[in-house]
Structure 1
C-alpha cells in the first residue's frame, strides 16, 4: 500500500538533469524528515517553503532506494503546462501519466521506417545498472572514438533521472546519448518500443555501440525465474532480429555471499540457457586461474548454443580510475568486486572488437 504525507521543502540539496534532490520536513512525523527526489517534468519545480505531497513508502519500509522519499506533487495555484508536444503517454493509467514526444512521431519517423536494420551494430545487454560504466569504459578503452548510446528499458526504475551514474558518464564522454523506451522516461530520446529504440540509436543518435541495461532497482526474489533481469533475453532477441550483433555481459561475482550468484550468476545462466533462443556472444573476463576454472565449470550448458569469448577488462577499469569515476555494485567497490566489473568491461571490449 502506498504511504504518503504532506511536508515542506526546507532546502535544495542537489540538481541534475531531470531531477532535483530536496530536504523535506514533516510536522506530523519529524522522524521521517530527510531527502526526497523530485522530477520537475512530473511535478513542476519546488523551492524552500513549498508544501509537497511525498511518497514515504520506501523509507518507511526501509527499501534499498538510497534513503529517499519521492515528491508526488507540489501545492501551487497555477496549472502545469506540458513541455513536450507529443501525444504518447508514459506512466499510463497512473496519477503521474504524462505525454512525451517520441522518435516514432517526430521528424525522424520516416528514416526509422526506412532503416532495414542494425547492419551488425554491436548491442551489449546487461542485467544491472552498475554494469553500464564498465561496459562503456571497455568500449572506449579499445575504441576511443566510438559513439556509445545507453538504452534504458522499463524493467526496473522508470525515470532515467533517478540515476546518478548516467550524468557522470555523459560528462566524461563515455556515453553520448540516452534513450528510454516503453514506460521508462527521461532519456535524450523517447521511444515506444525497444526495437524502435534500437533503430533510433543507429539512425537518430548515430550509435556505434548500444548498451541496454536496466535502470537502478533490479528486482530479484531468490527464485529461479523471478528476477526482472530475465528480460535481457528479449533484448538479445531484438538485437538479433534487427541484424545487430548481440553480446551478453556476464554477471560474475566472487564477493556476493549468496551461493546462487557465486561465479557466474544463476541469472546469467538461466536467461542464456533457457530463454535466449538465438546464438549470442557471451563475453568473459581474464581472471585468476582459480576463478577462471570455476567459471569454466559453469558454462558447459551454454557451449552448444552460444559463442564464448574472453577479453582483458583491466584497461577499462584503469580508464574509469583516470576519469575519476568510482563505481560500486550493491555497495561494493571495484576492489571488492573486481571480477564483476572486469566481466562488464569485457563485454564492452567485445563490442569494440566488432567495430573494425
Structure 2
C-alpha cells in the first residue's frame, strides 16, 4: 500500500527545470521532499501537496526524501510536448514522451535504418556509483572521446533524480543521455535497451556507450532477486546488435555482507547464468596478492574463465584523474579510502575501453 500524507511547502531548497527539492510541513514536522516539475508543475511556497511517504517511512534508500505526487492548490499542469509514447504506463504518474522510434521523432529514420553497432564498445555496470569513476578511467587516457550514457529502469526512473548525471553534464563529460524502458528524462527517450543502444550509436555518435541503471539497485539477499541481473540481458542485447560488451564488475573488500566480498555474487550470477553471450570482464591489477588471489579463485570456482574473456588492467590512472579534478566519489556510503578496489575496478574498465579507440 502507498502511504500518502498532506503537506505544505514551506521553503524551496533547490530547483532546476527537471527537479525541485523543497521543505514541507507534515503534521507540524518538517521534511525534505522531491518534486518533478515536468510531471506536476512548478511548486511555490505555501502550496498544499500530496506526498508519498512510503519509502522514507520504511527507511529505504531514497536519500531521506519524501516524494510529491501532486498539487492540491492550482493542480493544473499541461506542459506542451510532442510524442505519443507513455512511460510508467497505466499508473497515475504515466508521462508522455517523444521516443526516438516514433515517426514524429527527428531521429525516426536513424533508428528505422539501424543495422549494427559495428563492434562499438559498450561498458555495462551494476551500480549508478560506477558511472563517474568509469568515465574518469576513460578521460585519463583520452579526454576527447565522446561518451554517451544510457540509463535503464533497474533503479530510479527519473533521470532528474541523479545528482551524478547533473554533475557530469556540468563537467561536460557526457555528450548525451538516453533513458530506456520506463526510465525517463534523458536527452533522448527510447522504448527499450535495443533502440536505446541504436540511439546512442546513430544519433549521439558515441565513441563509447555506458549502460548502467539509475540510483537505487533493488536487492533481496538472493542471487536472483535483484534488478542487477539486467546486466546479463544487456550483455546479450549488445552482442545481438554486434557491439562489444565490456563488464564493469562490482568488487569490494570493505563489505559487511559476505555475498558482496570480493566479486559480488550478483556479478558471478550474471556471468554464470544470465549472460548467454561472451563478454570482456575487466579486473583491476590489485596490489594486495591475497585480494588478487581471492578474486581469481572466485572466478575459477564459478567457471568464469571458461565462459568469458578476463582482462587485467591498471585502474590507478583513473584514480589519479579523480584526485586531480578534486572529485569525491561514494558507493553505498563508502568513499575512495573505504572502497578503493571498487573505484579502481571502474577506472580500470574505463581505461581498458579507451585503449580500444
**Superposition TM-score, scaled by structure 2 size:** 0.96
Confirm or deny: 8 A CA contact 1:182 1:194 kept in the other structure: yes
C-alpha distance in 1 between matches for 2:183 and 2:231: 16
1:141-290 → structure 2 map (5 Å cutoff): 141-288=140-287, 289-290=289-290
Query: Unaligned 5+ residue runs, structure 1?
Result: none
Confirm or deny: 8 A CA contact 1:82 1:99 kept in the other structure: no
Deviates more, 1:106-115 or 1:251-260: 106-115
Of 94, 98, 121 in structure 1, the residue corresponding to residue 95 of structure 2 is: 98
Backbone CA RMSD of aligned residues: 1.2
Q: Which residue of 2 aligns with 1:74?
A: 71
Confirm or deny: 8 A CA contact 1:17 1:161 kept in the other structure: no
Per-residue deviation, 1:82: 3.0
Q: Which residue of 2 aligns with 1:47?
A: 44
Deviates more, 1:171-180 or 1:264-273: 171-180
Q: Which residue of 1 aligns with 2:305?
A: 303
C-alpha distance in 1 between matches for 2:37 and 2:317: 38
C-alpha distance in 1 between matches for 2:76 and 2:32: 26
Q: Which residue of 1 aligns with 2:139?
A: 140
* Secondary structure class of the residue paired with 1:299: helix
* Secondary structure class of the residue paired with 1:206: coil
Deviates more, 1:14-23 or 1:219-228: 14-23
- Describe the shift of the 1:316–1:83 C-alpha distance in structure 2 as closer, same or farther (beyond 3 A): farther
Q: Does 1:21 align with 2:11?
A: no
1:327-346 → structure 2 map (5 Å cutoff): 327-346=329-348
Q: Find runs of 4+ consecutive structure 1 residues off by over 3 angstroms.
A: none
Q: Which residue of 1 aligns with 2:83?
A: 86
Q: Write out per-residue CA displacement over residues 196-221 of structure 1, whole angstroms, 9 at most, x where no aligned residue.
A: 01010011111111111111110111
Per-residue deviation, 1:17: 5.2
Q: Does 1:30 align with 2:20?
A: no
Q: Write out per-residue CA displacement over residues 212-258 of structure 1, whole angstroms, 9 at most, x where no aligned residue.
A: 11111101111121111001001111111111100010100100111
How many residue pairs were aligned?
352
Q: Does 1:314 align with 2:316?
A: yes
Q: Write out per-residue CA displacement over residues 16-42 of structure 1, whole angstroms, 9 at most, x where no aligned residue.
A: 45111000012xx234x2110000111
C-alpha distance in 2 between matches for 1:141 and 1:5: 48
- Describe the shift of the 1:49–1:311 C-alpha distance in structure 2 as closer, same or farther (beyond 3 A): same
* Secondary structure class of the residue paired with 1:94: coil
C-alpha distance in 2 between matches for 1:83 and 1:267: 42
Q: Write out per-residue CA displacement over residues 160-214 of structure 1, whole angstroms, 9 at most, x where no aligned residue.
A: 1111111111211222211101110011110011110101001111111111111
Deviates more, 1:87-96 or 1:7-16: 7-16
Confirm or deny: 8 A CA contact 1:17 1:167 kept in the other structure: no
Confirm or deny: 8 A CA contact 2:49 2:73 kept in the other structure: no
Query: Unaligned 5+ residue runs, structure 2?
Result: none
Per-residue deviation, 1:318: 1.7
- Describe the shift of the 1:317–1:17 C-alpha distance in structure 2 as closer, same or farther (beyond 3 A): farther
1:119-138 → structure 2 map (5 Å cutoff): 119-138=118-137
Per-residue deviation, 1:83: 3.2
C-alpha distance in 1 between matches for 2:225 and 2:130: 20
Deviates more, 1:57-66 or 1:118-127: 57-66
